[in-house]
Amino acid sequence: MSVSDRVILIAGATSAAGVKVAETLLDAGARVIAVGSNRSRLDDAYDRLPRVKTFVCALESSRSVGELGVSIRNVWGPIDGLIHLVGGYRGGGGMLEQTDEDWQALESGFTTLRNTTRAFYNDLVASPAGRLAIVSSTSVDNPTAANANYAAAKAAAEAWVSATADGFLRDQAARRIDPVPQRAAAVRFVVKALVNDEMRRESPTKNFISHTDIEVLATSILDLWDRDAAGLNGARLRLFLESKTS
């Protein structure tokens, strides 16, 4: 099973991590579609990777995501991979500082995941190697008052991906009538924080030991197409150095 020629959509693709994932998949022969909410940020991010097809879409709108699906299928056919990277962090203070404004911003990471997985679910099930991945956080394991909103939004996203994994299983290997080999897999990567070279340059004395380099994330996403879907489906993959206290 290889990533070559697979059509892979990155939802929320303009961050350093999004661009690194796109570049890594492209170098391995995938056909990559990058989606963001803003044309000029997409153009800035993908200026040096013209083979990545970029789409603007308000992913929090299920209607817009449905239309995006139609546009993509018209040109590229069904997708084989959905890498959902919409996120962002808000937090701090205690329980009473968990504001509605912050929740609204964080919850959009979940809503956009719900929209994209529903819009592309049939594509992923039909693909010979359908893959869904999100990047979650260790906050789900250890929620604190300061990150209550954030941990709750990430926990919801994790539950949604686990439910999608159940859907993949029921539509393939566990199908009651005429089961087929498991081909699709939904996974959750878990990090404490991401780091890239620019961050290291900006803070040369900072210790990033527990951070996950975006290159490690990108390679781990690429590896999804080298691994057996049956073993992968529903996995929670920790991508950081575990300390004795973590």
Ligand X SMILES: NC(=O)c1ccc[n+]([C@@H]2O[C@H](COP(=O)([O-])OP(=O)(O)OC[C@H]3O[C@@H](n4cnc5c(N)ncnc54)[C@H](OP(=O)(O)O)[C@@H]3O)[C@@H](O)[C@H]2O)c1
Contacts of 144 (CB under 8 A, 6+ apart): 151
* Number of chain residues interacting with ligand X (CB under 6 A): 25
The closest of 3, 10, 246, 32 to 139, measured between CA atoms, is 246
Give 87 or 130: the residue with its C-beta nearer to ligand X. 87
Please say whether the beta carbons of 185 and 131 come within 8 A: yes
Task: Draw the binding track, 110-149, toward ligand X (x: CB under 6 A; -: no contact).
Answer: --x----------------------x-x------------
- Residue in 24, 32, 36, 221 binding ligand X, rule: CB under 6 A: 36
Smallest separation (angstroms) from ligand X to the CB of 190: 8
- Residue in 3, 6, 10, 14 binding ligand X, rule: CB under 6 A: 14
Question: Amino acid identity of 244?
Answer: K
Please say whether the beta carbons of 43 and 21 come within 8 A: no
Q: Is 147 strand, coil or helix?
A: coil
The closest of 196, 164, 166 to 84, measured between CA atoms, is 164
Distance between CA atoms of residues 33 and 52, nearest Å: 6
- Residue in 69, 87, 130, 234 binding ligand X, rule: CB under 6 A: 87
The stretch among 58-66, 96-104, 175-183, 223-231 that binds ligand X (CB under 6 A) is 58-66
16's enclosing H/E stretch is helix 16-27
Distance between CA atoms of residues 142 and 115, nearest Å: 27
- Residue in 37, 62, 162, 219 binding ligand X, rule: CB under 6 A: 37
Give 169 or 224: the residue with its C-beta nearer to ligand X. 224
Question: Amino acid identity of 158?
Answer: E
Smallest separation (angstroms) from ligand X to the CB of 6: 21
Restricting to residues 189-208, which ones interact with ligand X according to CB under 6 A?
A: 191, 193-194
Binding region for ligand X (CB under 6 A): 12, 14-15, 17-18, 36-38, 41, 57-60, 85-88, 108-109, 112, 135, 137, 191, 193-194
